[in-house]
């Protein structure tokens, strides 16, 4: 259980770091910058569009939607949900 709590908090920390990076990029550009999940996973060599296109029919739409969302939102939601699920019980 402690390992899952640690993973959850790491995901939340990464989400906050990505949100900060988007904020700094927005200040530099002078306009709002939101890096999508597809853009960020593309930086590490994964083609998000091909991943969504080659997935099974039901999963393809969900992956395509997730690829359009900002990565900080995706990781943040997953991290917060895991934090709530694996919170210490008294």
- For the entire predicted model, the pTM comes to 0.86
pLDDT tops 90 at residue 72: yes
Q: How far apart are the first and last CA of the chain?
A: 14
Token pair for 42: 């593309």
Q: What is the pLDDT of the chain when averaged over all its residues?
A: 93
pLDDT band of residue 57 (cuts 50, 70, 90) is confident
User: Half-sphere exposure of residue 26, counting CA atoms within 13 Å on the CB side?
Assistant: 11
| 35 contacts 71 by C-beta, under 8 angstroms | yes
Distance CA 35, CA 11 (A): 17
pLDDT band of residue 85 (cuts 50, 70, 90) is very high
pLDDT tops 90 at residue 67: yes
Residue 70 main-chain phi, psi, to 5 deg: -65, 140
């Amino acid at each position: 259980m402690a390992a899952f709590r640690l993973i959850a908090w790491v995901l939340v920390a990464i989400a906050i770091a990505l949100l900060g990076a988007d904020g700094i990029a927005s200040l530099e550009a002078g306009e709002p910058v939101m890096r999508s999940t597809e853009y960020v996973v593309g930086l590490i060599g994964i083609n998000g569009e091909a991943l969504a296109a080659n997935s099974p029919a039901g999963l393809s739409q969900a992956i395509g939607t997730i690829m359009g969302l900002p990565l900080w939102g995706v990781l943040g939601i997953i991290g917060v949900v895991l934090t709530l699920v694996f919170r210490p019980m008294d």
